[in-house]
Amino acid sequence: MEKRHYFNKINRTLSIGFGLVICVCLSNSSYAQIFTNKNYVKINPGDTERDIVKKAANVVPAARQLRWQQLELTAFIHFGINTFTNKEWGDGSEDPKIFNPKDLDARQWVKVCKEAGFKQIILTAKHHDGFCLWPSKYTEHSVKNSPWKEGKGDIVKETAEACKEFGIGFGIYLSPWDRNSKYFGSMEYNNYFINQLTELLTNYGQIDEVWFDGANGEGPSGKKQVYEYNRWYELIRKLQPKATIAVSGPDVRWVGTESGYGRETEWSVVPGDELKNEKIAENSQQKVEFAPRDMMANDLGSRAKIAKAQSLVWYPAEIDVSIRPGWFYHTSEDKDVKSPEKLMDIYYSSVGRNGVLLLNIPPDTRGLISDSDIKSLHGFKKQKDKVFAENLLVGAVVKGSSAKKAGVLFDGKDNTAWATKPADSTLVIDLKLSKPKQFDLLLLQENLRVGQRVEQFVLEYKDGSEWKEAVKGTTIGYKRLLRFAPVTASEVRLRVISSRLNPAIAEIGLYKQ
C-alpha cells in the first residue's frame, strides 16, 4: 500500500481548497482559510489535557458528513460478473458474454430499498474483477461486450436515474484493486483509475458517496499497485463536492467489522492520525473478504486516545454488512437471508451506536432483488415502525421548566437541543409523565452541530421514593438506542454524568418494543 500520505501534499491541496485532513505545515492564516467548517482542529504543543478535551468537544461534521449521518440507513448493491460466476471475488478473466441479467430492473432495487426505509444506494460500479457496469471507454471488460441489451446498456445510469426518480441518494463503489487491468501494478494504472473515476463523476448527475474498499492484491502482472489517493480525493472534491468519501477516504471511517455491530463507545472525533493514508489502509478491510474482523475492543476517541493526538478530526463510523453471508448473490444462500429480528438487532447495534448502517442487498442473476430478501426487509420495516410509533415521553413535563421548553426534546428534530450553560459538564433532566407507562428502549440524540460531547449517562426511574437505574451508557453522538428489561414508571430522569463540554441533548425517547 502507499506509504506516502496526503499530509505531504499541502500545496496542491491548498490550491483546490480540499479542506479536511491536511495539517502539519500550515501557517495560521491558511489554516483558518481551510478549516472553516471546523471538522478538523490542530493540537498545539502547549495544550493541556483540558484544552484538548475542549477542542474535541467543538469539532463538528462538515455539511456532507452531517447529511450522510442523518441518512441512518443506506443500502449496498453488490452486482456484477460475480453474480454469474457464483463467486465472491472474480479474477478478471471472465468472459463478458456470461453477463446477461435478462429482467434487470434498477427501479425495483430502489423501490425495495426505499420502502424498507433506506435513504441512499451504493452500487458496485466495478468490483475487484475489473468488470464495469457502465460502458467505460477505457476497458473492454464491461457491459458493452455483454449480450445484455446487446451491449448498449448502462447499469450505473439506470440506477442513478431510479435513485433520482425515487428521491434517494446515489453512491458508487469503485474497487481500486482491478484484477483485469493490464496496467495494474504500474504508474499507468493511476491514470486509468482516474479516467474511470472521472467517467463516473461526470456522466451520472449528483454522486452522494464514493466508496473505496481496502482490498489490494496483485494484478495480472503479479505486481501490487501504489495508489495515488490524493488524486482521487482532489478529483472527487472538484467534481462532486457534496459526496462523502468512505472507507479508504477522509470523510467516513470503516467501523472495523463486517458483522453489522458497531462499538458501544463510538466517538466520531478521533486523532487526525486516523486519516493518514497508511493508517486508513491498515484499518480498511484488507484481506478480510467477508469474514468479520473484531475491532470492537478498540476505543478510538476517548480522553486517553486523544491525549497525545496532534490533531483531531470528525471521522464517523459506517457499519457495512450483507443481508446474506456473501456480498454477491448465491442461490444456495437464499435460506440464510438475515431475519427481520436479526436486522432489528443490527439496527440497534449500528444506527443505535452512533453509526450509519450500510446493508448489502445483492440482486440475483435475473437482475432483481429476490423474494426472500424482500420479505425480510418488509418484516424489518414493519417491526421498526411498530417499535418507534410512539415516544411515550411526548407530553411529559420537565421538572422546573415549562412544558413548552421540554418540547425540544421530543420534537423529532436533531437541531434543537435542551439548553445548558457552557460550564456544565453534567446534566439532570427530570421528566414526569401524565400516568405510569411501561418501556424498555431508550433513544438519545446529541445535536452534532455543536459537537459530540456526552461521555457517560444513566436513565433512572422512580420506584416509590427510590431512584433506580434502568440503563446506562457512555457515548451518544448522532443516535444512541439502548434496550433494557421492561420498567413501569411515571417519573424518569436522564443524568449525564460526564460530558466534554455542556451537553446538547437534542432528543430523548422511551419506547416499548
The site for ligand FUL (CB under 6 A) is made up of 88, 213-215, 285, 289, 320, 327
Residue 285 to residue 358: CA distance in whole angstroms = 15
Around 153, how many Cα atoms within 13 Å sit in the side-chain half-sphere? 22
Whichever of 211 and 461 has its CB closer to ligand FUL, that residue is 211
Whichever of 72 and 320 has its CB closer to ligand FUL, that residue is 320
CB of 375 to ligand FUL, least distance (A): 23
What does the angle CA 134 – CA 135 – CA 139 come to, to the nearest 5 degrees? 110
CB of 247 to ligand FUL, least distance (A): 8
- The answer to whether residues 333 and 326 touch, using CB atoms and an 8 Å cutoff, is yes
Whichever of 130 and 214 has its CB closer to ligand FUL, that residue is 214
CB of 243 to ligand FUL, least distance (A): 18
CB of 322 to ligand FUL, least distance (A): 8
Neighbours of 411 (CB within 10 A): 13
Whichever of 208 and 213 has its CB closer to ligand FUL, that residue is 213
Whichever of 75 and 306 has its CB closer to ligand FUL, that residue is 75
Residue 410 to residue 349: CA distance in whole angstroms = 22
CB of 213 to ligand FUL, least distance (A): 3
**3-class DSSP state of 453:** coil
Neighbours of 37 (CB within 10 A): 16
- The answer to whether residues 330 and 86 touch, using CB atoms and an 8 Å cutoff, is yes
Residue nearest to ligand FUL (CB): 213
CB neighbour list of residue 12: distance below 8 Å, 6 or more residues apart: 230, 234
AA identity, residue 17: G
Whichever of 93 and 401 has its CB closer to ligand FUL, that residue is 93
AA identity, residue 142: S
Whichever of 208 and 414 has its CB closer to ligand FUL, that residue is 208
CB of 125 to ligand FUL, least distance (A): 12
CB of 320 to ligand FUL, least distance (A): 6
- The answer to whether residues 428 and 493 touch, using CB atoms and an 8 Å cutoff, is yes
- The answer to whether residues 43 and 309 touch, using CB atoms and an 8 Å cutoff, is yes
Residue 394's region, left for phi above 0, alpha for psi from -120 to 50, else beta, is beta
CB of 128 to ligand FUL, least distance (A): 6
Residue 466 to residue 18: CA distance in whole angstroms = 55
Whichever of 36 and 93 has its CB closer to ligand FUL, that residue is 93
